[in-house]
Structure 1
Amino acid sequence: MRRLARFDLNLLQIFDAIHSKGGVSAAARHLNLSQPAISHALAKLRDAFDDPLFVRQGNKLVPTPAARAIAGPVREALRGLDAALDAAASFDPVQSTREFRIGVRLSGEMPRFSSLVGRVRHDAPHVALASVTFRRRDLVTALANGDLDLALDVALPSDARLCRHFLGTEPLVVVARKGHPRVDGAIDLDTYLALDHVVATARPHGPGIEDMALERMGLGRRAAVRCQHAITAWQIIAESDMLFSLPRSHAEVLNAVWPMQLLDLPLPVDRGGTYLYWHQAAQADPALEWLRRIIIDEMSKPD
């Protein structure tokens, strides 16, 4: 604590900018400071930590092991300080120009993200929203350092650093084209298993929740096509006699543009549900509290 009392905390912001932007010039532009001022601050940082912190490789300053070790804690501390300062002030959504970064997995962006835009734009016309993909193993770090403000995902292993709110579950539906020779308004399990299926996922392999449910029943289906986007799968279904399963809210968005048959899934599946995640350090941030309320109001679904 005595060492902290003598330390210029502004240097940590400069350290974070150099680390995240990859150089003195980029950090100077980011902080709206002169390059000599950043260089002078870097010299102070090197003296304080008794380490070069960044070494030049080509056109970039590369962090040393010591810099990599402190980068995460420094970013998290700065984020916590920002939240504490924000908590002392009120948040006015009408006047705010803040950008909010919401972590959304590719498969969940539609309609989860789109459903928020109208509500947020109505209440806060000048804010910016960004839907950002993320790796689950990096979620805690991304929320701690501000790369993400909030995140939407399935149930993940508990972590004391994260807060979460259950948003609810929704059923899967089966999609078939209109005029399908074997499907007209409903589908039974025998027909479901007899037809080929399209699977839409960013994962290069692995079963879906339908496959896991069928395996528990001692059954299986044939996934004839695997693609990355629900829109692509929808197009394939429109031009074939295959089937495609996806959450009902996703299907309703696509069906409004390109009508299909939406059918009840003829087997029971485990509906894990969706959660809203945020970091404990951001718990007191009034802007994020406002956004969390909107997300919970817009996206909570009954079981």
Structure 2
Amino acid sequence: MTRPISRIHLNLLGVFEAIYSRGGVTAAARHLHLTQSAISHSLAKLRVAFDDELFVRFGNAMVPTALARAIIGPVRDALGMVEQALVAAARFDPATTQRSFRIGLRQANEARFFADLVSRALAQAPGATLVSVNFRRSEIAAALAHGELDMAIDVPSAAIDGLLAEPLRTDTMVVAARRGHPAIDGAIDLATYLACDHVHASPRSTGLGLEDQALATKGLSRTVRVRCQNIWSAWQTVARSDMILTLLDAHARALRPVADHQVLPLPFRIAAWPLQLLWHESAARDPGNAWLRALVQETFAGSTP
């Protein structure tokens, strides 16, 4: 039999949610900045309170019991409402805040503007902490809804339906080739583009890029010889080979100091790439979130297109 709700402290529910979301005691402790023993002690209290194991070990993971799966939704709703109430009651002051902000960023976008955002943010909020977090596009809405991320930057997709969004920038795709490339000198046509081997940057190990989808509509395809997890590695690969890379113009500008490649217009049309700032409705009235969103907008407005 479970104990009355008055006997279950709010911090225990936070531990329960962290173990559920993170999949284990160690990850929950890291996320909450607590010791593993403190998390284990809280879990023991939760098990007594609910008269249920809540999580059982399966291999190297902790999997939730049926009861844990049944109560996670209401627990998250309750924690979210308490947090919103506390945020609404508190006056956010950048100069004195010790708050940690988690921003969902793809690696290429992190390289593109995160350092500038950090500089602007810490100038106003020297006690704040900013964390750049990679994410799976299919999980972005849930991460924002559950408060695992405060905001994110990504392109439009079905995965962001229901999120609040503001446009940041619309970019175009370009082609990068090393200087001295035997087939490319200041320009590239479609035939040369298709004849070259390509390096493709994506956190996914398989799948097509926007350029492949555009070529497929014309009944064409390219040869991807190498896949890299991030754009920086792909840019370096171009410097050491005759392969070429298709990427956003803004990313190419950011990577120019790494290697001064030829950056050329793409020899076929791809729809413009709109980048958006995303957040969940539950954070809309959070003054700290609004402050950082404004800084993100300022950072993009002040950066070179």
Q: 1 CA distance for matches of 2:298 and 2:244?
A: 33
Match of 1:3 in 2: none
Percentage identity across aligned positions?
40
SS at match of 2:255: helix
User: Whole-Å Cα distance in 2 between the matches of residues 112 and 232 of structure 1?
Assistant: 18
Rg comparison, structure with higher value: 1
2:152 alignment partner in structure 1 = 151
Checking the alignment, whether the CA contact within 8 Å between 2:17 and 2:75 is kept in structure 1 is no
Alpha-carbon distance in 2 for matches of 1:137, 1:34: 32
Quick one: structure 1 residues 55 and 242, their matched pair in 2 at CA, closer, same or farther if it must change by over 3 Å? closer
- What is the identity, as a one-letter code, of the residue corresponding to 2:14? D
Deviation string 1:188-236 (CA, Å, 9 cap, x unpaired) is: 2222222221111121222211111112222222222222221221122
Q: How many aligned residue pairs are there?
A: 294
Q: State whether residues 174 and 264 of structure 2, in contact with CA within 8 Å, keep that contact through their aligned partners in structure 1.
A: yes
Structure 2: gaps of 5 or more residues: none
Q: Which residue matches 1:131?
A: 132
Amino acid at match of 2:276: Y
Bigger mean CA offset, 183-192 vs 238-247: 183-192
Query: Residues 22-61 of structure 1: matches in 2 within 5 Å?
Result: 22=24, 30=34, 38=42, 42=46, 45-46=49-50, 51-52=51-52, 54=54, 57=57
* Inter-partner Cα distance in structure 2 for 1:168 and 1:216: 26
Q: CA RMSD in A?
A: 3.5
Cα deviation digits, residues 74-132 of structure 1 (max 9, x gap): 12431232122212222111111111111123443321433322211222122111111
User: Counterpart in 1 of 2:9?
Assistant: 11
Residue segments in structure 1 that go unaligned for 5+ positions in a row = 1-5
Q: Does 1:214 align with 2:215?
A: yes
Asked if the contact 1:80–1:282 (Cα under 8 Å) also holds between the matched residues in 2, the reply is no
Cα drift, residue 69 of structure 1 = 2.2
Give the SS at the match of 2:182: coil
Aligned counterparts, 1:168-179, within 5 A: 168-179=169-180
Alignment of structure 1 residues 271-286 onto 2, 5 Å: 271-286=272-287
Cα offsets for 1:7-42 (capped at 9, x unmatched): 43963431231442456x9699849x9899958963
Cα distance in 1 for partners of 2:246, 2:282 equals: 38
- Separation of aligned partners in 2, 1:92 and 1:123: 9
| 1:225 corresponds to | 226
Structure 2 length-normalised TM: 0.82
Structure 1 residues 231 and 188, CA gap change in structure 2 (3 angstroms):
same
